[in-house]
Amino acid sequence: MSTVGVVSLGCSKNRVDSERILGCFADAGFTITQKPEEAEVLLVNTCGFITPAKEESINTTLEMAQYKESGRCRLLVMTGCLSQRYRTELETEMPEVDLFWGVHEPEQLVRRVCTMLGIPADCAMRGRRILTTPGYSAYLRIADGCDNRCTYCAIPLIRGGRKSVHMESLLTEARSLAENGVKELTLIAQDTSAYGTELYGKPMLAELLRALCQIDGFQWIRVLYAYPNTVTEELIDTMLSNDKIVKYIDMPIQHIAPRLLKDMNRHGTREHIEHMVDYIRKASDEFILRTTVMLGFPGESEGEFSQLADFLQAHPFDRVGAFTFSPEDGTPAALMEGQLEEEVKQRRLDAIMKAQQHTSLLLNQKRIGRVENVLVEQVSGGIAYGRSYAEAPDVDGMIAVSGVKDAGLLPGMFIKAKLTHADAYDLKGEMLQ
Ligand code: SF4
Atom of ligand 1 minimally distant from the CA of 254 = 3
State which ligand 1 atom lies nearest to the alpha carbon of 227.
Answer: 1
Atom of ligand 1 nearest to the CA of 146: 6
Q: Give the contacts of 128 (CB within 8 A, at least 6 positions apart).
A: 23, 26, 27, 176
The stretches of 81-138 forming alpha helices (DSSP H) are 81-93, 106-117
Q: Which atom of ligand 1 is nearest to the CA of 266?
A: 2
Which residue puts its alpha carbon closest to atom 1 of ligand 1? 148
Question: 335 Cβ partners below 8 Å, 6+ apart?
Answer: none
What pLDDT was estimated at residue 220? 98
272 near 253, Cβ under 8 Å? Answer: no
Helices 167-179 and 205-212 cross at an angle (nearest 10°) of 30
C-alpha 81 to ligand 1 mean position (Å): 14
Question: Cα–Cα–Cα angle for 240, 245, 251, nearest 5°?
Answer: 80
332 CA distance to ligand 1 centroid (A)?
A: 13
Per 3-state DSSP, the chain is made up of helix, strand and coil in percentages (nearest 5) of: 40, 20, 40
pLDDT at 177 over 80: yes
Spatial distance between the Cα atoms of 309 and 257, rounded to a whole number of angstroms: 10
3-state secondary structure of 137: strand
Per-residue model confidence (pLDDT) at position 196: 98
Please compute the mean of the pLDDT values over residues 123-129 and round it to a whole number.
82
Residue whose C-alpha is closest to residue 431's, from 366, 397, 384, 362: 384
- Indicate which residue's Cα is closest to atom 2 of ligand 1: 150
Amino acid, res. 327: P
DSSP H helical ranges for 190-232 = 197-200, 205-212
Determine phi and psi for 126, rounding to 5 degrees.
-105, 5
pLDDT in tens, 202-218: 999 999 999 999 999 99
Q: For ligand 1, is residue 155 a contact (CB within 6 Å)?
A: yes
Average pLDDT, the chain: 96
Q: How far apart are CA 313 and CA 106, in angstroms?
A: 45
Is the CB–ligand 1 distance for residue 146 below 6 Å?
yes
pLDDT of residue 357: 97
Q: Can you spell out the DSSP letters for 365-416?
A: HTTTT-EEEEEEEEEETTEEEEE-TTS-TTTS--EEEES-TTS---TT-EEE
Phi, psi of 196 (to 5 degrees): 85, -10
Looking at residue 428, its pLDDT comes to 98
**344-365 confidence digits (pLDDT tens):** 999 999 999 999 999 999 999 9
Of 326, 216, 332, 203, nearest to 266 by C-alpha is: 332
Q: For residue 405, what pLDDT is reported?
A: 83
- The answer, yes or no, to whether residue 433 has pLDDT greater than 80, is no
State in Å, rounded, how far the first CA of the chain is from the last one.
48
pLDDT digits (tens, 9 = 90+) for 27-48: 999 999 999 999 999 999 999 9
- The response to whether residue 195 sits with its C-beta less than 6 Å from ligand 1 reads no
Query: Are 407 and 379 within 8 A, CB to CB?
Result: no
Q: Which of the four pLDDT bands, split at 50, 70 and 90, describes residue 11?
A: very high
Q: Is the CB of 158 under 6 A from ligand 1?
A: no
pLDDT of 253 over the 90 cut: yes
| Beta pairing partners, 7 | 44
Tell me, in angstroms, the distance from the centre of ligand 1 to residue 315's CA: 23
- Cβ(55)–Cβ(151) below 8 Å: no
Do the beta carbons of residue 321 and residue 292 sit within 8 Å?
Answer: yes
Q: Is the pLDDT of residue 77 over 80?
A: yes
